[in-house]
């Protein structure tokens, strides 16, 4: 990416609330942080239970967040405040149409005295089925901080 990247430690926690039944997922990985103007880009790789690798590319801007995943899973999900967005989610078991409605986005950039943190509350409908509420918390800090 360039001379502005920083090595960071990333913790990504997602909660899916399916009518009161909650599914928790946690990913902890080392990654890279790049900041330019009012844009923050985080990149990291994760390994699935099936030992396949997925590259994650998260772009945070004042008016939107984009999460792009490539590899065993492919997705380009966009989050715009109080708006619905559509995308396609591809994984080894098939392809699904995904409709995302974003309720809230809060972002606290990384500073020397505090972690960076992104929180998104949103709902997703897969293939037009019942919507499920999702809560994403992404925390990042410099290695060794």
pLDDT in tens, 55-65: 999 999 988 99
CA distances from 3 to 6, 34, 59 (A): 9, 9, 18
Task: Collapse the DSSP code of 17 into the 3-class scheme (helix H, G, I; strand E, B; otherwise coil) and give the result.
Answer: strand
Q: What pLDDT was estimated at residue 63?
A: 86
Q: What pLDDT was estimated at residue 116?
A: 96
For each of the domains in the chain, give its residue range(s) and CATH number, in order of start: 6-142 (2.40.128.20)
Average pLDDT, the chain: 92
145 pLDDT exceeds 80? Answer: no
CA dist 60 and 42 (Å) reads 8
Q: What pLDDT was estimated at residue 76?
A: 96
Mean local confidence (pLDDT), 88-100: 92
Report the share of the chain in percent with pLDDT over 70. Answer: 96
CA distances from 93 to 61, 73, 90, 96 (A): 32, 10, 8, 10
């Amino acid at each position: 990416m360039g001379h502005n990247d920083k090595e960071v430690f990333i913790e990504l926690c997602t909660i899916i609330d399916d009518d009161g039944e909650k599914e928790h997922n946690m990913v902890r990985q080392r990654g890279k942080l790049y900041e330019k103007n009012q844009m923050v880009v985080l990149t990291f790789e994760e390994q699935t239970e099936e030992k396949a690798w997925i590259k994650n590319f998260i772009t945070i801007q004042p008016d939107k967040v984009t999460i792009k995943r490539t590899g065993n899973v492919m997705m380009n999900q966009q989050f715009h405040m109080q708006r619905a967005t559509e995308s396609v989610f591809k994984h080894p078991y098939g392809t699904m149409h995904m409709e995302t409605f974003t309720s809230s986005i809060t972002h606290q950039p990384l500073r020397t005295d505090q972690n960076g943190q992104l929180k998104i509350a949103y709902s997703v409908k897969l293939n037009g089925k019942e919507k499920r509420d999702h809560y994403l918390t992404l925390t990042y800090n410099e290695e060794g901080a």
